[in-house]
């Protein structure tokens, strides 16, 4: 028999227990982890301290403060950008409209965009809100006494077939029958889980890992149609280059015809990078930098540190991709705290490495900014003569 008694925590563990627990790497693959993600309290930003305040702290207090800042800077998002807000509006429209009777197939959603634009982060933020709304309106248990799980998430790998896909859904629910069975048996068990737990949104992440024109891609495409017909859920598919891979293909061949039917039932959404070739785009970029600036826990930060002094530089380093920007800001803050610099500057960030794609694309943007062919600066408002 398993011993569930707890050991007495050490004094150091008591202090750590007051902090929000980090989420493990399997959080989104299991329903219990999903609940941890949904129910996790919002992190509290470390209290602002001046450099003089930091010097007054004892060694233990300083170590604790810096540890909290490390965790805080590593989890700054999600930032409510115009892209995230627009995607959420579309998701609410489609999911809330998918309350048709059971004899009608529900429309699916495919979010197709380049890496580093926040697709998964944005969808998870929406799914968290949806989960909380469903629980608030309908309760944590169904009328039959089953746990209510409004959201299920499945991540795909490069060799996912139909059987693997069905098994992944069962593993999310911890179903005891996920190890043995046929493809059809796994599908029926997954349907039973979805119905019993009142699932309304099924998220399928990393869909681009499938080879759509190979056998496994056709099988999973057929599975998506089966889910749309039989499961009371809205499919949310997330991937890169889905259109190019044939998700929405039209054609006369059997392969294209099968995939085209998926396309007819699927609404394609995207997320765009930040651009600075218009005043509206430059204002969006500036507003985001101001929002990030307010969240930084650095004793020497000051108004305009990002939005004024580093605006062009950060755009070139990130190429307008929020994922690359947040990576650079996070790593820069870690270095600023560790070295005692306590603010972000070009000199400090020049020593911080970013993702390979951003670093490769940076050269062309740097050249355009230096030649004044490109700028992130917002044009001053013009006064009209009376």
Contacts of 91 (CB under 8 A, 6+ apart): 109, 123, 126, 236, 269
Domain boundary among 222, 254, 269: 269
Kindly report the average pLDDT of the chain as a whole number: 85
Q: Region 166-181: what's the mean pLDDT?
A: 90
* Position 22 in a domain: no
Number of domains in the chain: 2
pLDDT reported for residue 1: 36
pLDDT reported for residue 246: 61
Domain boundary among 269, 294, 317: 269
pLDDT reported for residue 215: 59
Contacts of 169 (CB under 8 A, 6+ apart): 152, 154, 186, 190, 193, 194, 202
pLDDT reported for residue 172: 93
Work out the angle at residue 35's Cα, subtended by the Cα atoms of residues 29 and 36, and round it to the nearest 5 degrees.
90
**How much is the pTM?**
0.85
Sheet holding 234-239, edge to edge: 151-155, 201-205, 234-239, 108-112, 266-269
**pLDDT digit string (tens) for 323-340?**
999 999 999 999 999 999
Contacts of 13 (CB under 8 A, 6+ apart): none
Let me know whether 277 and 363 are in one domain: yes
Helices (H), the chain: 11-17, 31-39, 51-56, 59-74, 82-97, 119-138, 162-173, 183-196, 215-230, 254-264, 279-295, 311-318, 322-339, 346-350, 356-370
Let me know whether 361 and 242 are in one domain: no
* Position 314 in a domain: yes
Token pair, residue 102, equals 């059971």
CATH number at 185 reads 3.40.50.300
* Position 53 in a domain: no
* Position 201 in a domain: yes
**How far is 385 from 382, CA to CA, in rounded Å?**
9
pLDDT reported for residue 323: 94
Let me know whether 223 and 250 are in one domain: yes
Q: Residue 162 belongs to what domain range?
A: 83-269
Q: Region 363-376: what's the mean pLDDT?
A: 87
**pLDDT digit string (tens) for 226-255?**
888 888 899 999 988 877 766 665 444 545
Domain boundary among 269, 304, 323: 269
**pLDDT digit string (tens) for 93-122?**
999 999 877 666 788 899 998 888 999 999
Cα pseudo-dihedral 25, 37, 119, 155, rounded to 10:
50
């Amino acid at each position: 028999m398993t011993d569930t008694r707890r050991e007495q925590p050490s004094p150091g563990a008591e202090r750590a227990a007051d902090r929000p627990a980090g989420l493990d790497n399997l959080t989104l693959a299991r329903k219990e982890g999903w609940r941890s993600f949904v129910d996790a309290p919002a992190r509290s930003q470390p209290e602002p301290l001046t450099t003089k305040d930091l010097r007054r702290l004892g060694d233990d207090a300083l170590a604790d403060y810096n540890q909290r800042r490390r965790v805080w800077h590593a989890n700054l998002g999600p930032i409510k950008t115009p892209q995230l807000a627009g995607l959420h509006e579309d998701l609410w429209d489609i999911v809330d409209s998918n309350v048709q009777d059971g004899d009608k197939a529900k429309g699916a959603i495919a979010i197709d965009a380049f890496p580093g634009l926040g697709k998964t982060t944005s969808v998870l933020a929406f799914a968290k809100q949806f989960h909380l709304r469903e629980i608030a309106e309908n309760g944590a248990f169904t009328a039959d006494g089953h746990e209510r799980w409004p959201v299920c998430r499945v991540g795909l790998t490069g060799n996912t077939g139909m059987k693997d896909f069905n098994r992944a859904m069962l593993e999310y629910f911890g179903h005891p029958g996920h190890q043995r069975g046929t493809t059809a048996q796994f599908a029926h068990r997954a349907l039973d889980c979805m119905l019993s737990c009142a699932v309304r949104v099924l998220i399928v992440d990393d869909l681009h890992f499938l080879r759509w024109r190979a056998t496994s891609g056709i099988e999973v495409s057929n599975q998506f149609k089966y889910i749309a017909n039989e499961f009371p859920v809205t499919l949310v598919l997330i991937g890169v280059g889905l259109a190019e891979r044939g998700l929405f293909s039209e054609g006369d061949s059997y392969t294209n015809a099968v995939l085209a039917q998926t396309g007819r039932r699927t609404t394609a959404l995207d997320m765009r990078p930040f651009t600075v070739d218009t005043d509206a785009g430059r204002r969006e970029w500036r507003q985001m930098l101001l929002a990030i600036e307010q969240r930084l826990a650095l004793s020497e930060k000051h108004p305009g540190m990002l939005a004024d002094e580093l605006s062009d530089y950060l755009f070139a380093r990130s190429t307008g991709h929020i994922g690359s920007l947040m990576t650079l800001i996070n790593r820069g803050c870690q270095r600023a705290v560790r070295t005692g610099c306590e603010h972000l500057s070009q000199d400090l960030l020049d020593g911080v490495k970013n993702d390979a794609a951003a670093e490769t694309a940076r050269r062309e943007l740097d050249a355009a900014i230096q030649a004044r062919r490109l700028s992130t600066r917002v044009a001053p408002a013009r006064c009209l003569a009376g």
